[in-house]
Chain A
Amino acid sequence: MKKSVLLGTLAIAGLAAGFASAQTLDEVQARGSLNCGVTTGLVGFAAPNASGEWEGFDVGLCRAVAAAVFGDATAVNFVPTTGQTRFTALASGEVDMLARNTTWTFSRDVDLRFEFVGINYYDGQGFMVPRELGVASAMELDGATVCIQTGTTTELNLADFFSSNGMSYEPVPIETNAEAQQQYLAGACDVYTTDASGLAATRATFEDPSAHVVLPEIISKEPLGPLVRHGDNEWGDIVRWTLNALIAAEELGITSANVAELASGTDNPEINRLLGTEGELGGMLGLSSDWAQNAIAAVGNYGQLFEDNIGESTPIGLSRGLNAQWTDGGLLYSPPFR
């Protein structure tokens, strides 16, 4: 009896959630701001600066969506979410979208009922070791002690990698990246493993970065992307095509500097369609015709966003690698705006 009541309540709550999620755009517009779930701090991806404004690669995407919806990149409430709270925050409607470098996996997409709308960063798990160990390949790590963040996909990848190569390791479980840095520097573990972007960011903060090497092996695919709730396809389309607009803008040579000029009309019909001078793409999304123009003007195109936050000019110094345009040998490939 009690169980059926509980199940009934859950079902009603689920129904209500499903019903409510069908109008995320209306809710966001009525509220006047976008609730965007971000990390509780990850170098280069999301962190507040000294005056309290959020900055970073993931943050840029939230701002782009806000600019596309409202024409105002500051109309965002950033909701810091931890690894444990992120999915509930999204499922319960506390946030409208997550841009929280979350790996797109089958079970998260299907079982947890979320909708990954694209990939904004192709990452992969790597290893960092002190140079003095003289290790040149991850295959030489048999018997090593490994610092590993608990509760992440990296933990599972590590176990897979070592067992499939017939090697053994001793895990040193740690909770946060900051703790990992300290443990690794103090010599509590020989190897630190996490996403390659995280390794680069961590290494950049060391006193002597050249004393540590990131091994060439990348042992997993970590496609990081923004996600929204299952079942509200209109809202999912807005986030998906905002991301695509930033990627397409780089391919088409649109930057935050020249977007206003190009928006007055060009010879290239695809640019015209994207920036709303031709066609009705904005109207199909339920937004104004200059949605993409606003998004690009606010944060720049994908390449600018990358360079400003995690690119080679920043202390993190990530190269584009897989995250280059398909024309440059990378994996970024936006469907056409037509």
Chain B
Amino acid sequence: MSDVHAQTVSYVRETMLPEAEPPVTERGAIKWLRENLFSSWLNAILTILSLFVIYYVLSHTLGWMLYGIWDAGSLTECRQIRNELYGEDASVACWAVLADRWDQLLFGFYPQDLYWRPVAALLVFFVAVSPILFEGVPRKLFYLTAAAPFICFWLIWGGTIWGPIVVALGFVIAGAIFRYGAEMVGPLLAIIGAFLVPILYWLLLAGPLTGMLNSIAPIGMQYVSSDEIGGFMLAFIIGITGIILSFPLGILLALGRQSDLFIINKTCVTFIEVIRGVPLIVWLFTASLLLNYFLPPGTNFDLLLRVIIMVTFFASAYMAEVIRGGLAALPRGQYEGADSLGLNYWQSMQLIILPQALKISIPGIVNTFIGLFKDTTLVVFVGLSDPIGFSNLIRATTDWNGIYWELFIFIGLCFFICCFSMSKYSQFLERKLRTEHR
């Protein structure tokens, strides 16, 4: 019967044809180009225009950057080398300024033989934040996280080791009162005690205690004053301290603003509105100029410390509003659910409200962090030698006067790397915490 079939439907093909390539316009790079770059006349024109702009920019900058001169002692020397290599008219970068002033751009006036200390402090910082940032890291590292601020402080400023230890002891005292005081004298007294006792201890006892311990066992390193800190080290110190301190402060302010307690509520609202309503540069000038008149003369209140406090306050006001947005986004049922479980205020905040509110606020929080980090360059106006300040100082030497773009490109690149990594991490965190069923 098989031949019958063959005779009756002779046009039916029995074998499979080999797969043919799609038409040239429907595959590979050409397809991608047609779809993405030349899908219509308008898009084609825009594409060609953009290509021209990109070419124009790169043709003027790429050669300038790549042929740049790395090995020279001054701008004049750079120009001589350029004349020998490329001729008089060539326009090339003089990166030699970075090589020559690398140490200063990174560390400022910090003593050269002590550069390992800030580097070690940065390493300690990274190890200490790793358990906060990533889940896979051993939990025991949290002990280091608690100790890290004091270790970093000691590494950067040096001096006697007892200073940071005595200050840290204050926190231990506060923790102990908070933990055990509740059973002995009641929760309210314990909270008040946990605030008051350490403050009294720091004001009255800490100084003499440090002196006494130091005279018993003088352990310490060479002291480095804040004036000697500069360059990116300064930007990092202000930025990191500001970020770490403004986050908890911002949470407290946000909770305070939502609180029903009249005084706390109004204090927080006033703080946030006043700090946020005035430009940061005004606060920096206040810190550097106005405070000097009001403090008793001879008080050695570090300018760097004043600036850090102002930057922290400023960032925490913004942070408070960002987190308040997260709190407001939570449905009322979450608060009521927490209450119905019998949790008290702090438990419900810690276990139910804040984890969700903070997750919602991640983009805003990181936005504030990035803004804060970049704002550290404003300290140049109060005479601190941050990277921008140092670019002015470097330009003020006869060797490098007249150099401009190279320094700014380098500084911009460093800031970009830092801010971009923060942004990338926040995206990673958002993906990891995405629990909605979308």
* Cβ of B32 under 8 Å from chain A: no
Give A215 Cβ to nearest chain B Cβ, in Å: 21
In the bound complex, residues from chain B placing their C-beta under 8 Å from that of A181 are: 402, 404
A5 to chain B, nearest CB (A): 12
Q: Is the CB of A43 within 8 A of B398?
A: yes
For residue A231, give the distance in angstroms from its CB to the closest CB of chain B: 13
Q: Is the CB of A93 within 8 A of B100?
A: no
Report chain A residues within 8 Å CB of B399: 50
| Residue A88 is within 8 A (CB to CB) of chain B in the complex | yes
Which chain B residue lies CB-closest to A310? B398
Q: Is the CB of A315 within 8 A of B385?
A: no
Chain B residues within an 8 Å CB radius of A81:
383
- A205 touching B75 by the CB < 8 A rule? yes
Q: Does B201 contact A (CB under 8 A)?
A: no
Number of interface residues of A (CB under 8 A): 49
A283 to B392, CA, bound (A): 41
| CB–CB B397/A47 < 8 A | yes
A274 at the interface (CB under 8 A from B): no
**Bound CA span A116–B203, Å:** 41
Report which residue of B298, B392, B396 has the largest number of chain A beta carbons within 10 angstroms of its beta carbon.
B396
Across the interface, do B383 and A48 meet the contact criterion of CB distance under 8 Å?
A: no
Q: Is the CB of B298 within 8 A of A27?
A: yes
Q: Does B125 contact A (CB under 8 A)?
A: no
Decide: B392 and A20 in contact? CB cutoff 8 A. no
A201 to B395, CA, bound (A): 11
Neighbour of A20 across the interface among B298, B303, B397, B401, CB < 8 A: B298
Interface residues in B363-386 (C-beta closer than 8 Å to A): 380-383, 385
B-chain residues with CB within 8 Å of residue A82 when the two chains form the complex: 381-383
Say which residue of A50, A80, A84, A202 sits within 8 Å of B385 (CB atoms): A80
Which residue, A40, A89, A91, has most C-beta atoms of chain B within 10 A? A40
The reply on B35 being an interface residue by CB < 8 A is: no
A17 CB-CB contact with B under 8 Å: yes
Task: Report if B346 contacts A (CB, 8 A).
Answer: no
B404's closest neighbor in chain A, by CB?
Answer: A182
User: With an 8 A cutoff between CB atoms, is A52 at the interface?
Assistant: yes
The bracket for how many chain B residues form the interface is 35 or more
Instruction: Out of B293, B298, B383, B394, name the residue touching A79 (CB < 8 Å).
Output: B383
9-residue interface stretch from B2-10, B150-158, B284-292: B284-292
CB neighbours of A40 from chain B (8 A): 380, 383, 385, 389, 392-393, 396
Instruction: Quote the shortest CB–CB distance from A205 to chain B (angstroms).
Output: 3
The answer on a CB contact under 8 Å between B79 and A16 is no
B39 CB to closest chain A CB (Å) equals 40
For chain A residues 185-230, which have a beta carbon within 8 Å of chain B?
A: 201-202, 204-207
Q: Is B26 an interface residue (CB 8 A)?
A: no
Residues of B within 8 A of A129 (CB): none
Asked if A9 is at the interface of the complex by the 8 Å CB criterion, the answer is yes
B361 CB–A CB distance under 8 Å = no
A333 to B14, CA, bound (A): 116
Contact of B297 among A93, A201, A204 (CB under 8 A): A93
Select A41's contact among B79, B288, B296, B396, beta carbons within 8 Å: B396
Q: Which of B75, B76, B292, B402 contacts A88 (CB 8 A)?
A: B292
A231-247 interface code vs B (CB 8 A; 1 in, 0 out): 00000000000000000
Q: A52-B104, A79-B383 are in contact. Are A41 and B393 (CB under 8 A)?
A: yes
Least Cβ distance of B247 to chain A in Å?
30
A10 lies within 8 A of chain B by Cβ: yes
Residues of B396-438 whose CB lies within 8 A of A: 396-399, 401-402, 404
Chain B residues within an 8 Å CB radius of A77: 225, 227
User: Can you name 13 A-B pairs with beta carbons within 8 Å?
Assistant: A27-B298, A40-B389, A43-B397, A48-B104, A48-B109, A48-B393, A49-B397, A52-B108, A81-B383, A88-B292, A89-B292, A206-B402, A316-B398
The 6 residue pairs across chains A and B that have the minimum distance between CB atoms: A41-B396, A205-B402, A92-B292, A47-B396, A20-B297, A41-B393
**Which residues of chain A have a CB within 8 Å of any CB of chain B?**
9-10, 13, 16-17, 19-21, 27, 39-44, 46-52, 55, 77, 79-82, 84-85, 88-89, 91-94, 176, 178, 181-182, 201-202, 204-207, 314-316
